[in-house]
Amino acid sequence: MAEHVFQKCIDPNCGAAYGVEEVLTACPKCGNLLDIRYDWDKLSVPKSLKELEKYWTMRDVPQRFSGVWKFHDLLPFTELEKCVTVGEGQTILQNSAGVAKYAGVKEGNLFLQYEGMNPSGSFKDNGMCAATTHARMVGATRAACASTGNTSASLALYCSCLQTMKAVIFIGDGKIAYGKLSQALDYGAQTLQIHGDFDDAMARVKEVSKKLGIYLVNSVNPFRLEGQKTIMLRVLEALRWNVPDWIVVPGGNLGNSSSFGKAFHELYELGLIDRIPRLAVINAAGADTLTRVFNEENIRWNGGNTDRAKINAFFKQMNDEGRRANTIASAIEINRPVNLEKCLRALEWCDGVVRKVTDQQILDAKSQVGACGFGCEPASAASVAGTKLLREEGVIAPSDRVVCILTGHQLKDPTATVAYHCGDPQKFDEVLRPHGVTTCDFANNPVKVENDVDDIVRAIQG
């Protein structure tokens, strides 16, 4: 199999290729990102997506039970038996009439891809099972990541299950939601709190893992993004292999959007879908690098001839001005998205758009997701807030079928949720006001009552 799989530089002007047994997070020749590529002609590819349904009856095989590896035919970088799984990807596409109404989409046409249902509570497990599979293939005994929380929770979980690999995680000081930090600690990961933010932690983990030969699992890892393609495959599966009109996803380091673009591009090239959905990537207004790059600087993938000088000038100015990301959606609080160029490519492949939404819009949208039964963390709700915005602009038509990716579970960040709902002015000032939130229009306030039956009855009856 190995000879039909390789790593390839995404820059077509470089095009360097490397074996899958190499541990790389960038092209050694030009420094750009790498893709996993397949010689599909020499592999057994299904003739139709429906053919994949034959695996539905094989749920006694752990890899076929996995919502990632049941699509192994479309990410065959190693043999099925060698794939790491903890039962990730048992996630569902939920139709939500309530959220559709809020976002202005026709009832029945808005879907929430509920990735919070993963073992560690976020979509990151889709990628982590693939990255740890590769790490094990190359004999790694330690794996590291920088994280705003969910990557570290996921890595920590996989390492604690595997027992053959130790997790080393780098987090920005005070920049992590408690739900996520508690996971890393409980799963036994070596946890380093770097004095700085995500971007600082990212820069350090790259240096340190190189120095110590530790396997890096951030989304610069091309194997990880292979696993994340399956989120789109599950969406198609749930729609009985029909392609929706829009995929709306929050954008942080832009690994998800990049992998979604690759998934659809490959399916289209293989003739397994006849059209590609449009992609909407939603930034938080306080972490809007992609929005600026795409909508203001008008930088495009341009068939691989991206204007890198312009990107570099953009980041230089960002540094010179001391602009740092700041949003309550901590999972997307990122200055320099590591997959920026891959995401530009995905936007080209998927005729994509980019928008930003405020923390106020994010928290209001989040309350609607919760009220409709599919709670999520703040970053995830950017997809719903973004859909509402794109509907208001008329970019998304009312009758379009829209899939919003709910990237992480509600319990990841209870601080933000409680501050929004509890009506405590002190919590509001502490947690929400610094992020420009001014109202909690959809707050579900708890009611304080005396320890007395009559009082309680009165409170319930209103």
| Partner interacting with residue 14 (select from Zn ion, ligand PLP, none; CB below 5-8 Å by kind) | Zn ion
45 belongs to the binding site for Zn ion (CB under 5 A): no
- By the rule CB under 5 A, 34 interacts with Zn ion: no
**Binding marks (x or -) toward Zn ion, 329..358, rule CB under 5 A?**
------------------------------
CB 267 to ligand PLP: min, Å: 20
Least Cβ distance, residue 116 to ligand PLP (angstroms): 8
- Determine, following the binding rule CB under 6 A, whether residue 327 of this chain makes contact with ligand PLP: no
- What does the buried/exposed string (b/e) look like for 127-146 if buried means 16 or more CB atoms within 10 Å of the residue's CB? bbbbbbbbbbbeebebbbbb
Cβ proximity to Zn ion, 309 vs 453, nearer residue: 309
> Is 92 a binder of Zn ion (CB under 5 A)?
no
Q: Which residue has the tokens 């909407």?
A: 280
Transcribe 132-162 into DSSP letters. HHHHHHTT-SEEEEEESSHHHHHHHHHHHHH
| Signed CA dihedral, 312, 314, 317, 322: sign only | negative
Binding of Zn ion by 17 (CB under 5 A): no
| Structure tokens that stand for 27 in this block | 């092209």
146 touches ligand PLP by CB under 6 A: no
Q: List binders of ligand PLP among 45-104 (CB under 6 A).
A: none
Confirm or reject binding of residue 365 to Zn ion (CB under 5 A). Answer: no
What does residue 289 show for φ and ψ, rounded to 5 degrees? -55, -50
Binding partner of residue 331 among Zn ion, ligand PLP, none, CB under 5 to 8 Å per kind?
A: ligand PLP
Give dist(CA 461, CA 7) in Å, integer.
64
74 contacts which partner out of Zn ion, ligand PLP, none, CB within 5 to 8 A by kind? none
> Residue 263's closest CA among 345, 354, 151, 381?
345
Cα distances from 35 to residues 121, 224, 250, in angstroms, run: 26, 10, 22
Q: Which residues, numbered 191-230, are part of the site for ligand PLP (CB under 6 A)?
A: 219
- Of 31 and 108, which CB lies nearer to Zn ion in the complex structure? 31
Contact 334, 199 (CB under 8 A): yes
Q: Which residues is 190 bridged to in the sheet?
A: 168
- Among residue numbers 349 through 378, which ones bind ligand PLP (CB under 6 A)? 377
Q: Element (H or E) spanning 355, and its range?
A: strand 353-357
User: Does residue 335 bind ligand PLP (CB under 6 A)?
Assistant: no
- Got the DSSP string for 245-292? SEEEEE-SSSHHHHHHHHHHHHHHHTTS-SS--EEEEEEETTB-HHHI
CB of 307 to Zn ion, least distance (A): 17
Least distance from C-beta 217 to ligand PLP, angstroms?
A: 12
What are 120's two structure tokens? Answer: 């560690």
Q: Which does 9 bind (CB under 5 to 8 A by kind): Zn ion, ligand PLP, none?
A: Zn ion
Tell me if 376 sits within 8 A of 366, measured CB to CB: yes
Instruction: Please report whether residue 333 would count as binding ligand PLP according to CB under 6 A.
Output: no
30 binds, among Zn ion, ligand PLP, none (CB under 5 to 8 A by kind): Zn ion
To ligand PLP, the closest distance from the beta carbon of 366 in angstroms equals 11
CB under 6 A: which stretch of 15-23, 39-47, 156-164, 251-259 binds ligand PLP? 251-259
**Which residues sit at the interface with ligand PLP, rule CB under 6 A?**
122, 124, 150, 219, 250-256, 331-332, 377, 379-380, 407-408
